[in-house]
Structure 1
Amino acid sequence: MAKDFSRMEDSNRSSNPSIHEVSNPARRTLLRGAAATAFLAPLAGLGGCASLVGGAPLLGFKSVPVGTADAITVPEGYVAQVIAPWGDPVGLSGENPAFKFDGSNSAAEQEAQMGMHHDGIHFYAQDGSASGLLVMNHEYVDYGLLFKDGSATWSADKVRKAQAAHGVSVIEVEQKDGRWSVVTPSPWARRITARTPMAIGGPAAGHALMKTAADPAGRKVLGTLNNCGSGRTPWGTYLTCEENFVNYFSGPDAPDAHQKRWGLKKGDGGYRWAEHDERFDAARHPNELNRFGWVVEIDPSNPSSTPVKRTALGRAAHEGATVALTKSGRAVVYMGEDSRFEYIYKFVSRDAVKPGGAAANATLLDHGTLHVARFDADGKGRWLPLVHGQGPLTAANGFADQGEVLIKSRQASDLLGATKMDRPEWIDVDAQGWVYCTLTNNSNRGGKDQPGLDAANPRANNTMGAIIRWKDDGDHDGLSLAWNHFVLAGDPANTRPEAQGNVKGDAFGCPDGLWTDARGVLWIQTDMSTSAMGKGDLARLGHNQMLAADVRTGEIRRFLVGPAGCEITGATGTPDGRTMFINIQHPGESPSELSDPANPRRISNWPDQRADGRPRSATVVIRKADGGVIGT
């Protein structure tokens, strides 16, 4: 989600060390040649490190230049096709309302259409690489595009339509003669919105802090919202992550300490849902806030299944949930929290994954241990368990039980001494066991009430971001880790040293989305805020882009540039590697983040380019013209 950096949530006032206080890029960055050999030697016991040096190049395409066109740019020999834009029918049986380019679709029609602002996406093959299900998030909405008159004449119907444009879409897609299309109708088509009934699973289910007047048992909730990054489980389900949920709630005059730690303020973030949906009034229903900020599990192969909020994975402004397996078959879920100075988490399941798909593993993510990361200055670190009764996580410190530890994951992590990070977002794992995490930026570094700068903290006013990586000791469930920086993003032509970075290849800033394909290419997507794009440190970087990295050599090439005002997000592909799906989010977004309903095409008219059109988030299908494997 693009953000005005000056208004981002920043509620961590703990005295925990930040990543900058323990980081020395001269030692922590991916090194090469003789220096690389010396650096990797102490990590040899972790396995797989030797693969970082040598090997044939993975990248066979010619880089595309920085761009500012209102179009998609891909390398020579590649083609890009747009499918499933916001407002197109998802393919529900008997329900196929067409998109109205003047923004006049009703709430009921939006409930049967693709949601707004596409984000995390995964492909579930049905017929090999020829057809399957695409499941994707819809993070937030722009009232200047969603309605004919924007937020004027505010009403309950507008709230309902806004809620219907959030959530998740499940669509069936198929390929014929090299082109992909959405199958309509489809028995798997589904829309999950901010009003869809959901169950609450795990230790926080039924907890006193989860109970409301509408749900006195604390085990059911309506909807999911601000769904950002996502994950795919080995048993075939989809994990959708609730990120900036606090913006939807209208806070009381004086939020309490718990509410402040989650960024709640008087009023809301401009969504105005509380005016017509009382549950978003945190002054009247304070526990409703606790029912958001979770990872939600969805079974796309069962359209009648109930989504479940998995509270054992902890509560956070979740950016994503990436699943790895231990050698013993247990599931490990890595998660970042996209807020300034927040944390990186991993959950380790108690039980191994069972054969039999979603049904056999229906409660796997309800039992296990959540951990938070501490990165130490010596290049090592620890995973700190968030377990009630261990260390400071006691009733005396405000944690009555395990459910409360998970509801208050931030407060528990504060007490454990976790490392405050610079907006940890997407996470992915490569074949060697390295876990990569984008740290998008943090322009508050050294700001009021935050850690100061010193010799070990050279990235003052971190506008460019970085990608950190680590290996857990022995296996993904290990409690110790070794870490370094894979790359410090930046522009070598920048006059400010802190913004130059050390990219080996094409310059970029603000890394966000990550995906490792079957060949081992690390795909990097950027999210430069529209309020900062083309200015200051970002002046020479053009529009947001997608790049490919050979993790063995550190080489990075620009693969795609997006249209005006957009973010590049979400990446997945077919099993044969010959089709890639990505999402273009919020094309046309203005620096104020809200479009002018009287002039919706002021910044972008992608993808339709109609005289009466408006910009629409959409999925882009990328293929090689010769039918080859993507990236070669």
Structure 2
Amino acid sequence: MNTTTDIIDFNDENSNTTYNSTFAEILHARVSRRDVLRTGVALAGAATVAGLPLEASAQSVKTAQKLLGFKAVPKSRADSVLVPAGYTASVIYALGDPLSADIPAYKNDGTDMDFDKRAGDHHDGMEWFGLDANGQPSTSATTRGLLAMNHEATTDEKLSSFFIHADGGTSTLPRPAVEVDKELAIHGLSFVEVRSERGQWRTIQNSPLNRRVTQLTPVEISGPARGHALMVTKYSPNGTKTRGTLNNCGTGSTPWGTMLSGEENWYGYFNRSANDDAARGDKSVIALNRYGRKQGEASRHGWESAGTDDKYVRWNNSKIGSSVDGSDDYRNEMNTFGYIVEVDPYNPTRMVKKRTGLGRFAHESAAYSIPKARQPLRFYMGDDARNEYIYKWVTKELWNPADATAADRLAIGDKYLDHGTLYVAKFDASGRGEWIELTMDNPTVANYSKYKFADQADICVNARLAADAVGATKMDRPEWNGVHPVTGEVYFTLTNNSNRTINPDPEKKAQLMPDAANPRAYTDMKKDKAQTGNPNGHILRLRENGGRGKPTFTWDVYLFGAEAIADAKSINLSGLTEDQDFSSPDGIAFSRRTGLCWIQTDDGAYTDASNCMMLAAIPGRVGDGEKVTLNHTKADGTVVPVTTFVGKKPTDMSLKRFLVGPKDCEITGFCETPDGKTIFVNIQHPGEGTKQADIADPSKYTSQWPANAGYGAGKRPRSATIVITKNDGGVIGS
């Protein structure tokens, strides 16, 4: 969700006061032959990723040399999607599009119903799952497949998701049940079959694989917290189930062919009564406050006010029952959200699973390490809130390549995602860092004075508190992450952080000084408005060091977001030009066909110059740049030096702007066909700046996309998926 302060930002939670055929082309695109020889990059070590073979050919190398051959698109504030010359972007799947043969076309006037059989809202993270001619799973299919997609939220002002209601909806409590029912359905996940026929992509409305997951869909609790006391609710007295998945943002996939979805800002959908702390009188109050749900604070949509039906009551997270265990109310309901969710996209009959072992926090994407036989898998994750942390899950079981083609994909998920070790990252000023184990075997966790953990399930459910205990490094909103398909290095977007300051106020405990991994604190002017902290964000990368003993890594900052004209010594440390500058990096993904790194923005700081965008990059390696010292001057004149490690500055052939979206949107979600000739990208919440009071006057909508691009009825803006192809049929990015 956009980070401008003119719009309610539920992503800016602030409770922490404390790779197909050719790896060779990727290699040639990113690392020179001399570098390969010098550093000993071993292709054999990355022989397969998700069942795709390693091959090399002269043609692939030739293709690699053409990467980033397109002309960079300029910044734009137009209400349209801008891509380079020689490319075509078309809308394929938008809010309200029907997923069943009996559902009519979307009227887009607020009267549509049946959202449990339509595309949800706020298209976000997205994955491609190929289908062969017989509709069976295929890792090589390029013209038929499933798009598995998150629907994060809704465009709203005050309480109402106003674009989906005829008159803009109700902004006061109690909320009408008919409105809430729409909103419950519009959140969650969707799976839609897409096909390319004679070069034109379309959705298949009557596909048996089409599916929605909404807030009423039964979901299984899996991992350490399954059946735990913290999961007991009126709906599931034995703590093994819940309903729905909420505020899903980043995605990921697994080597065995399933989708991973991260539940992000779920906390704001719950309500707690003004006297709930006293009613509880136990350590759950500490956990609730740490997860951003203080007593008496209003919920995001007031769903709990829509009636006495259980589907509404569950959003009241107060202790209102008389039971000791919570089996007669929903005091523990919030504990059932905040996880990495696994879904088998090929099997609509299988229940969704929440993998509690990977920790509970504001999850974005989950990216896995290059699978190597007889070694553990690693899954990397970020907690998207100011001052939160970077995490890693290491599987107990060693990777067996045969599991990549197993028939029961969720059973393989049980094997690797329910048993393992959760770690949190601590960065130091030397350019190294340590992964700290979050288990009861770590005495610092087990003996934490501010919260007494009962067991491993408690640690997983309250992972933020465990990370607090070990002094993990507070980061500038860790969002998506991606793993370089050759080097295995991990890239994390750090979107921004208004809490960074040279002069922290002792009364504002969330404020903190810059540090080596989050080194900037500066003022960025947006028209006449001063934006402080780290308004433009940065992209950090790390390389696992391996070896025995404590797991460590080496890190640097790949890119600093900044305006091209910003000071090169304190802000534009990456030397970005007008064809490269960006702000608030959010989505990040690597192409397994070309090795390109795709960077997407969710920005409010630089929207006076450009709408949100997507860039294509050929990154280098950790340590390819230099050490830089920033000298921050405090109010009293004291100079505070902060040393950081800056990656090699990009050139016009290693970083280019590829796409700019319509007004008020976020660019998010990326997936591609295995041949790299088609990519899918999501345009989220165009027109977000529209006022609810202006719902009847389309001329006052800040965006009318995609209707103004010729897609669908009405003029209300809609989140949508676009498909991008190259006019000559070539590989995207070449």
Superposition TM-score, scaled by structure 1 size: 0.88
Structure 1 residues 119 and 558: CA distance shift in structure 2, 3 A = same
Q: Is 1:282 the counterpart of 2:317 in the alignment?
A: yes
Query: How is 1:98-109 mapped onto 2 (pairs within 5 angstroms)?
Result: 98-106=105-113, 109=114
Task: State whether residues 125 and 132 of structure 1, in contact with CA within 8 Å, keep that contact through their aligned partners in structure 2.
Answer: yes
Q: Which residue in the other structure is 1:473 paired with?
A: 545
Q: Which residue in the other structure is 1:574 paired with?
A: 673
Q: Which residue in the other structure is 2:383 paired with?
A: 337
Q: Deviations over 1:286-330 (max 9, x none)?
A: 211111101110000101110000001100100111122442353
Q: Is 1:384 the counterpart of 2:405 in the alignment?
A: no
Q: Is 1:403 the counterpart of 2:476 in the alignment?
A: no
RMSD over equivalenced CA pairs, Å: 2.6
- What is the alpha-carbon distance in structure 2 between the residues aligned to residue 56 and residue 177 of structure 1? 29
Identity among equivalent positions (%) equals: 42
Task: State whether residues 83 and 89 of structure 2, in contact with CA within 8 Å, keep that contact through their aligned partners in structure 1.
Answer: yes
Kindly state the Cα deviation for residue 4 of structure 1 after the two structures are TM-superposed.
4.6
- 2:144 maps to which of 109, 131, 137: 131
Q: Which residue in the other structure is 2:344 paired with?
A: 299
1:578 maps to amino acid: K
Kindly state the Cα deviation for residue 282 of structure 1 after the two structures are TM-superposed.
1.4
- 2:618 maps to which of 517, 536, 550: 550
Task: State whether residues 487 and 503 of structure 1, in contact with CA within 8 Å, keep that contact through their aligned partners in structure 2.
Answer: no
Structure 1 residues 502 and 315: CA distance shift in structure 2, 3 A = same
Query: How is 1:410-421 mapped onto 2 (pairs within 5 angstroms)?
Result: 410-421=464-475
- What is the alpha-carbon distance in structure 2 between the residues aligned to residue 468 and residue 161 of structure 1? 39
Instruction: Give the match's secondary structure for 1:403.
Output: helix
Q: Which residue in the other structure is 1:267 paired with?
A: 297
Q: Which residue in the other structure is 1:203 paired with?
A: 224
Q: Which residue in the other structure is 1:118 paired with?
A: 123
Task: State whether residues 315 and 406 of structure 1, in contact with CA within 8 Å, keep that contact through their aligned partners in structure 2.
Answer: yes
Kindly state the Cα deviation for residue 352 of structure 1 after the two structures are TM-superposed.
3.0
Query: How is 1:173-252 mapped onto 2 (pairs within 5 angstroms)?
Result: 173-252=194-273
- What is the alpha-carbon distance in structure 1 between the residues aligned to residue 427 and residue 509 of structure 2? 21
Q: Deviations over 1:441-489 (max 9, x none)?
A: 0112125224544696443310010000001113899811000000111
Q: Which residue in the other structure is 2:733 paired with?
A: 631
Kindly state the Cα deviation for residue 44 of structure 1 after the two structures are TM-superposed.
5.5
1:371 maps to amino acid: Y
- What is the alpha-carbon distance in structure 2 between the residues aligned to residue 217 and residue 352 of structure 1? 31
- 2:79 maps to which of 70, 77, 83: 70
Kindly state the Cα deviation for residue 409 of structure 1 after the two structures are TM-superposed.
0.2
2:655 maps to amino acid: I
Q: Which residue in the other structure is 1:492 paired with?
A: 564
Q: Is 1:509 the counterpart of 2:583 in the alignment?
A: yes
Query: How is 1:351-390 mapped onto 2 (pairs within 5 angstroms)?
Result: 351-354=397-400, 355=403, 356-357=406-407, 358-364=409-415, 365-390=417-442
1:527 maps to amino acid: D
Query: How is 1:579-618 mapped onto 2 (pairs within 5 angstroms)?
Result: 579-590=678-689, 596-599=694-697, 602-609=701-708, 612-618=714-720
Instruction: Give the match's secondary structure for 1:351.
Output: strand
Q: Which residue in the other structure is 1:20 paired with?
A: none
Task: State whether residues 80 and 662 of structure 2, in contact with CA within 8 Å, keep that contact through their aligned partners in structure 1.
Answer: yes
Task: State whether residues 198 and 220 of structure 1, in contact with CA within 8 Å, keep that contact through their aligned partners in structure 2.
Answer: yes
Kindly state the Cα deviation for residue 251 of structure 1 after the two structures are TM-superposed.
2.2
Q: Is 1:257 the counterpart of 2:283 in the alignment?
A: no
- What is the alpha-carbon distance in structure 2 between the residues aligned to residue 393 and residue 172 of structure 1? 45
Q: Is 1:146 the counterpart of 2:164 in the alignment?
A: yes
Superposition TM-score, scaled by structure 2 size: 0.76
Task: State whether residues 662 and 686 of structure 2, in contact with CA within 8 Å, keep that contact through their aligned partners in structure 1.
Answer: yes
Q: Which residue in the other structure is 1:161 paired with?
A: 182
Kindly state the Cα deviation for residue 422 of structure 1 after the two structures are TM-superposed.
0.2
Structure 1 residues 71 and 473: CA distance shift in structure 2, 3 A = same
Task: State whether residues 70 and 84 of structure 2, in contact with CA within 8 Å, keep that contact through their aligned partners in structure 1.
Answer: yes
- What is the alpha-carbon distance in structure 1 between the residues aligned to residue 381 and residue 520 of structure 2? 26
Structure 1 residues 514 and 83: CA distance shift in structure 2, 3 A = same
Q: Deviations over 1:137-161 (max 9, x none)?
A: 0000121201112232831121111
Q: Deviations over 1:563-603 (max 9, x none)?
A: 011000000100000000000000111177x6842335510
Q: Is 1:429 the counterpart of 2:483 in the alignment?
A: yes
- What is the alpha-carbon distance in structure 1 between the residues aligned to residue 515 and residue 433 of structure 2? 20
- Greater displacement, 303-312 / 553-562: 553-562
Instruction: Give the match's secondary structure for 1:363.
Output: helix
